[in-house]
Amino acid sequence: MDPVAVIKTLWHHKFVVLPVLLVTVLAAVYVYSFAPRSYEAKATYAIVNPKIPTALELEKNPALNLLNSDNPYLRSADSSLIAQVVGTRLNDDTTGDALQREGLSTDFTVQRPPASFLIEIAAASDSKDKAVATVKALGSRLEADLLAIQSINGAHERFLYTSLMVAAPDNATEQFSSRLRSLIVVLVAGIVLTFGAVSIARGLETSRVRARAASPAGERNKTSRRKDHQDPDPNGPAAGGPGLDELTIQEILTPAQAGRRAERPFAANGPLSEPLRSTSNGKSPVKETSA
């Protein structure tokens, strides 16, 4: 596709292109300036290992031996297993349902960096306060789930993993990417509409050119047929008077009658009166006419 040819085509149909471009620009300005915005709040939690009593501590404080240390996650070879379980529970559909019942945002994500004890929580909303409240609610749910999955066997709190907030959701920041995506959608739609309008305009222009190219031949045929109907017959009647075939011999031979009928095209002394003669065979007159 030649860019110069495209520009020439667009300029040729500028009366179609300019209105579409104007509407596109106005829509883009509206979307970027006044469209609903999205705010995101984030929080990061760290899973802290429990402080297991050492042999020396148990020897000094025999009461520690009486504590329930049956935490199933302490027996796992993968120490990050508990972080995986907590992240999975937060991403469950029941979490979204609970947030919806509380009137909070359901647009949230829970991620865990590989091989780490960190859990990152993010929530987006059209309101800053709502985004922050959603992240705080998810943080509270994280702590509750963390306690529930470890105390299933009644383990003492000394043998439980705990959560530590690393980054608090103090403020929500605007996501310019959301406005940028909306702006891109509007611009792409405007470009598509522009080329669509140009295609329609070119089609209409081509149809008009073909119609004009075919019209002269049709007009010539109509003019020729009209002339055929309007051209008078050289031997036909004159306007307002009878023709030659309507005149009788007596009218041609009689000057008085020809004079009284001024509308007749031939006079008695005209060129047709001289060659007229009358002959008789003795029974009935026979008149011959030569012209």
Give me the DSSP letters along 159-217: GS-EEEEEE-----EE-HHHHHHHHHHHHHHHHHHHHHHHHHHHHHHHHHHHHHHHHHH
Q: At what angle do helices 176-230 and 14-34 cross, to 10 degrees?
A: 160
The pTM (predicted TM-score) of the whole model is 0.57
Which has the higher per-residue pLDDT, 69 or 273? 69
The mean pLDDT value for 39-62 works out to: 89
Place of tokens 């579409």: 20
> Quick one: angle between helices 3-12 and 14-34, nearest 10?
100
Say what the pLDDT of residue 244 is: 47
- Rounded to an integer, the average pLDDT of 225-238 is 53
> How much is the pLDDT for 5?
81
pLDDT of residue 227: 56
Indicate the domain borders of the chain. 38-174, 244-278
Q: 1-15, pLDDT tens digit by residue? A: 677 887 888 788 788
Specify whether the backbone of 268 is left (phi greater than 0), alpha (psi in -120 to 50) or beta: alpha
pLDDT confidence bin for 210, thresholds 50/70/90: confident
What confidence score (pLDDT) does residue 217 get?
57
- b/e sequence 89-111, b meaning 16+ C-beta within 10 Å: bbeeeebeeebeeeebbebbebe
Beta bridge partners of 121: 43, 110
Report the percent of the chain where pLDDT is more than 90: 26
What average pLDDT does range 110-120 have in this prediction?
A: 86
Higher pLDDT, 65 or 188: 188
Give the ranges where the chain is alpha helix by DSSP (H).
3-12, 14-34, 55-60, 81-90, 93-101, 128-150, 176-230, 249-253, 255-260
Instruction: Tell me the pLDDT of the chain averaged across its residues.
Output: 78
Residue type, 63: A
| Tens-digit pLDDT profile for residues 119-129 | 999 999 988 99
Q: Is 96 a residue whose pLDDT tops 70? A: yes
Residue 162 has pLDDT above 70, yes or no: yes
User: How far is C-alpha 154 from the chain's CA centre?
Assistant: 61
Split at pLDDT 50, 70, 90, the class of 223 is: low
The pairing of strands 285-288 and 108-111 is unpaired
Number of other CB atoms surrounding residue 5 within 10 Å:
9
pLDDT band at 145 (very low <50, low <70, confident <90, very high): very high
pLDDT at 197 over 50: yes
The listed range with the strongest mean pLDDT (5-19, 94-108, 226-240) is: 94-108
Residue 233: is its pLDDT beyond 60?
no
Per-residue confidence at 291, pLDDT binned at 50, 70, 90? very low
174 token code pair: 């605007």
- 93-102, 103-112, 151-160, 249-258: the lowest-pLDDT one: 249-258
d(CA 112, CA 88): 10
* Rounded mean pLDDT, 153-160: 89
User: How sure is the predictor about 276, in pLDDT bands with cuts at 50, 70 and 90?
Assistant: very low
For residue 222, is pLDDT > 60?
Answer: no
- Could you name the CATH architecture of 38-174? 2-Layer Sandwich (3.30)
Average the pLDDT over 163-185 and give the result.
85
Q: Which pLDDT belongs to residue 262?
A: 46
Check whether 240 has a pLDDT greater than 70: no
Distance CA 120, CA 163 (A): 12
Contact 104, 80 (CB under 8 A): no
Q: What percent of the chain has pLDDT over 70?
A: 73
Give 273's DSSP letter. Answer: T
The residue type found at 229 is H
Please give the Cα distance from 263 to 254 (Å, whole number).
15
Is the CB of residue 172 less than 8 Å from the CB of residue 39?
A: yes
